[in-house]
Amino acid sequence: MQETMTLKNKRIIIYIVILIFLLWGIKGIWWSGTSDAKSVSLISETTLRQENLISSLKTEVARLQLQLTKCPHGGQDDVSNLPIIYAITPTHKRPVQKAELTRLSHTLMLVPNLRWIIVEDSETKTDVVAKLLAKSGMQFIHLNAATPKEWKLRAKEPRWNKPRGVIQRNAALQWIRDNVDPGTDGVIYFVDDDNSYSLEVFDEMRNVKGVGVWPVGLVGGLLVERPKVNMLGKVEGWLTVWSPQRPFAIDMAGFAVNLKRFFQQSDWKFAYEVEKGYQESIFLQHFVNSLDELEVKAENCTKVYVWHTRTEAVNLNQEDVLRKKGKPPSNVGIEV
């Protein structure tokens, strides 16, 4: 009898011990499970952040190395010895202006030895542009020239109805005539404020001796418009669909002119009364005698380094709702 009791007791004790162990184990797993998950997610977040930082630094190093290899003598020369790029940008006030100029300035500030001539289409220079330029740390020339009323596009008028940027580009060219030594080594390039530029396009144009040409993406109703290059590497026509008979069927973003070449025709000006699509042709006819004189860039005109992008007109209909309710606009005290 006593023996069976002790046997029973022993069994009970063993069960209790097993139960305690089981409970202990479950508790351990539960506690450590949640805290481990927390620390694992913390560690993985920090590692992810560090990995992102490392990979963006690696990209930056690669980019700088690439630029360095493109510099004469492996980048040992001072960049101030590079030919100067005079980038001419007409710009006009609209809701997206600051966004466009911010995007553009963040490209142009990566280009060595560039002077940004920015010409506002306005009676006076605006604070928005002045502050943006000052903040960029770039070498800039800030001008203004208002489009005559009769040449200003009216609301809802299609933009191809009137030439844009005419008087502004002339003001910039005049500034160059008045302020740049004609012997300066450099080029002139027209940079609209809404296009998209790869840094490579600036490398291509920098050493142009007369007029250099290259493809432009997303223009003229095509994915790409480009000069037609023959077996000898010379331009013999234009791969465009719209108005290919133009002497130079190329967008403003598709060429740069050497400064010395420019100074040979120093009185030249853009005009308003020009057939649609002929601004570029009329300009280039003054600086080039024949197509085969053009310098073919961007790997025989097979690479696209600039895109004629256009920003959609922004929808501000809720500002009207605010106005109708007698409320102030959303940007009171905020520059957008």
194 scored as a contact of Mn ion (CB under 5 A): yes
280 flagged as catalytic: yes
For ligand UDP, which stretch binds (CB under 6 A), given 75-83, 158-166, 197-205, 273-281? 158-166
For ligand UDP, which stretch binds (CB under 6 A), given 52-60, 83-91, 204-212, 297-305? 83-91
Catalytic residue among 120, 200, 280, 295: 280
* Sequence-separated contacts (24+) of 41-45 with Cβ below 8 Å: none
> Closest separation between CB of residue 197 and Mn ion, Å?
12
> Closest separation between CB of residue 155 and Mn ion, Å?
18
Q: What is each CA distance from 316 to 96, 97, 98, 327, in whole angstroms? A: 11, 14, 16, 15
> Closest separation between CB of residue 163 and ligand UDP, Å?
9
> Are the C-beta atoms of residues 226 and 216 closer than 8 Å to each other?
yes
Residue least distant from ligand UDP (Cβ): 165
Give the separation between CA 135 and CA 128, rounded to whole angstroms. Answer: 11
The b/e string for 272-291 (b: 16+ C-beta within 10 A; e otherwise) is eeeeebbbbbbbbeebbeeb
**Total residues belonging to the chain:** 336
121 scored as a contact of ligand UDP (CB under 6 A): yes
193 scored as a contact of ligand UDP (CB under 6 A): yes
92 scored as a contact of ligand UDP (CB under 6 A): yes
> Are the C-beta atoms of residues 316 and 233 closer than 8 Å to each other?
no
Give the separation between CA 97 and CA 130, rounded to whole angstroms. Answer: 13
Nearest Cα to Cα of residue 119 among 163, 81, 164, 152? 164
Q: Which is nearer to ligand UDP, 71 or 222 (CB)?
A: 222
Give the binding site for Mn ion (CB under 5 A).
192, 194
Active site residues: 280
In the complex, the residues that contact ligand UDP under the rule CB under 6 A are 89-92, 121, 147, 152-153, 159, 164-165, 168, 192-194, 310
